[in-house]
Structure 1
Amino acid sequence: MNLPEMTEPAHYTEERSALRWPLVFHGFFWPLLLVASFTALAVTKNYVFMIGVILGVFGSVSLGGLHLAEKRPIGIRVDSAGIWIGGIQRAERMRAAGKTPAKLSRAGAQQRQVFFCPWDAVQRVEVITERKEIRKIAKLGEGVGASRSEVATRAIKLGLLTAPYMRAVLVLNVDLSAAIVPEFRPPVERSFWKSGSPQRFAPSPIWCAPTRHPEQLRTALAHLARRA
C-alpha cells in the first residue's frame, strides 16, 4: 500500500525518538570495547584481552549494544491527516530524491518503514510513562518471557516499534482495515546452517513508538482532539 503525501502541517514531529542516552552509550561502548579488545588480543597474543572480548560480546547482546542502528530510524509525526510512526525521515528523503526501494524490506527491519493511521482509524491513542505499562508494551514487541518454542514460532508483530530504555511510549489501537501497513518480504526458509522457523509476521492492532518528549506529544494530541 502506498503512503499518502505528508501535505498537512505537522502538529508534532520527533525524529530519532528512540535515541535516549543509555541506548547511545551501550550502542557505541560495547562494540568499541569488543573491537579494541579483539584487535589487542590478535596483536599481542595476551589472553588477558579475552576478558574485554567476552564483556564486549555480553554488552552488545544483552545490554542493547546491537540495537542502536536498528532503532535509530524510529520517528513520530502527528498532523491533521493522522499519526505516522517509523522511518519517516528516511521515507521523505527517498521520496524527495525520487527513489523507490529495490526490494521489499525484511519484517525484522520494520523500524525503517512507515506506518500510517488516519484519524478515523485511530480507536485509542495514549502517551504512557508508567514503568509497569511500558514493560508490558516492551514484552508485547520483543516477546520477553516467551518459551523457546514460542519464540521459534511466533510472528513479528508489525507496528510495535519498541526500543530498549524507553521512558515514554506513544500507544495506538488502530483499525487495520483503514490503517496503512508497509509491505514486507515474504518469509523464506532459512538455509541448513541456520536453525529455527522462517521469519513470519502479522500486523498488530496495537502500534507503539518511543518518545523522548511525552508532554509535548500529549499537548499536540490534545490540541488535535479539541479540533476534531
Structure 2
Amino acid sequence: MNLPEMTQPAYYTEERSALRWPLVLHGFLWPLLLVASFTTLAVTGDYVFMIGVILGIFGSVGLGGIHLAENRPVGIRVDSAGIWIGGIRRYERARAGVKPQTKLSRARAQRRQVFFCPWDAVQRVEVITERREIRKFAKLGEGVGASRTETASRAIRLGLLTAPYMRAVLVLNVDLSAASVPRFRPPAEGSFWKPGSPQRFAPSPVWCVPTRHPEQLRTALAQVTSRP
C-alpha cells in the first residue's frame, strides 16, 4: 500500500518524539568527551587522556551517540486518515523535492521511514506509561543495547520503533494487509568485512513509538476515536 498525501487535518503531531533528555545528554556527552580527550592527548602527549578517548568511543557507540542519531527522526502524526509514525518530517521533505530518496534504506534505518495505518486497519491503539509494559516492548525492539553480533542473529521487527530511556509508548495493533510498511533493501550476504548471516527483517503486526507527551496524545486519540 502506497502512502497517501498528508492533506487531512492533524489532531496531533509530535516531532522528535523519542528524544528524551537522557538520550540527548548521552548523545552529546560521550562524543564531546571523545573529541576533548583526543585533542588534549594530541596537544600534551599525556597518555592519561587515552582513558577519556576509550570511554568516549565506548559511550558514543554503546550509550548515546549512535542511538541519538538513529532515533532523532522519529515522530508521530494522528489525523483523520490514520496514524503515522517514523521519519515524518524527512518524508515530507522528500515529497517536496528538498531531499528525494534515491535508493532503498537498510532495515536498521527503519526509524527514518514512515509507517502508516488507516483507521479501518487499526485494531487497537493506546498509550502505555507502565514501566513493566514498556520494558516488554523494549525487549521486542531490534536490539537496543545489544551487540552487533546479537542483533545480526535476530530478525528486525519492522514497526517497533523503540528507543532508549522511553517512558511512554504509543502502541498499535495493525492489519498488515491494509497498513503501509516501507520497502527496504534486501538483506546483504556476508562478506570478508561483514561475516555472518544476512540481517533478516519482517513486518510486525504490533507497532510502537515513543512519545514525550502521553496525556496530549491520549486526548487526541480519544477525540478521533469518539467521532461518529
Structure 1 and Structure 2 fold alike (TM over 0.5): yes
User: Shift of residue 100 of structure 1?
Assistant: 3.4
Deviations 1:52-90 (A, max 9, x none): 112212322332232111100000000111000000011
Say what the alpha-carbon RMSD is for the aligned residues: 2.0
* Contact 1:158–1:203, Cα closer than 8 Å, also in 2: yes
Q: Which moved more, 1:135-144 or 1:77-86?
A: 135-144
Q: Which moved more, 1:53-62 or 1:204-213?
A: 53-62
Q: Report what 1:139 is aligned to.
A: 139
TM-score, with structure 1 as normaliser: 0.93
Q: Which moved more, 1:131-140 or 1:192-201?
A: 192-201
Task: Identify if the C-alpha distance between structure 1 residues 130 and 108 changes in structure 2 by more than 3 Å, giving closer, same or farther.
Answer: same
Q: Which moved more, 1:166-175 or 1:139-148?
A: 139-148
| Structure 1 residues 150-169: aligned runs within 5 Å | 151-169=151-169
Q: Report what 2:224 is aligned to.
A: 224
User: Shift of residue 151 of structure 1?
Assistant: 3.9
User: Shift of residue 148 of structure 1?
Assistant: 9.1
Q: Which moved more, 1:210-219 or 1:186-195?
A: 186-195
User: Shift of residue 44 of structure 1?
Assistant: 2.2
| Residue type of the alignment partner of 2:168 | A
CA–CA separation in structure 1 for the residues paired with 2:206 and 2:38: 42
1:196 maps onto 2:196 in alignment: yes
User: Shift of residue 50 of structure 1?
Assistant: 1.1
CA–CA separation in structure 1 for the residues paired with 2:143 and 2:93: 32
SS at match of 1:13: strand
Task: Point out where structure 2 has 5 or more consecutive residues left out of the alignment.
Answer: none
Q: Which runs of 4+ in 1 moved over 6 A?
A: 144-150
Q: Report what 2:67 is aligned to.
A: 67
TM-score, with structure 2 as normaliser: 0.93
Residue correspondences, number: 228
Q: Report what 1:106 is aligned to.
A: 106
CA–CA separation in structure 1 for the residues paired with 2:8 and 2:148: 45
| Residue type of the alignment partner of 2:97 | A
CA–CA separation in structure 2 for the residues paired with 1:223 and 1:39: 54
| Residue type of the alignment partner of 1:172 | L
| Structure 1 residues 1-228: aligned runs within 5 Å | 1-97=1-97, 100-143=100-143, 151-228=151-228
* Contact 1:128–1:134, Cα closer than 8 Å, also in 2: yes
| Residue type of the alignment partner of 2:54 | I
CA–CA separation in structure 2 for the residues paired with 1:20 and 1:55: 22
User: Shift of residue 192 of structure 1?
Assistant: 0.7
CA–CA separation in structure 1 for the residues paired with 2:121 and 2:49: 55
Give the % identical residues: 82
User: Shift of residue 97 of structure 1?
Assistant: 2.3
SS at match of 1:94: helix
CA–CA separation in structure 2 for the residues paired with 1:147 and 1:111: 19
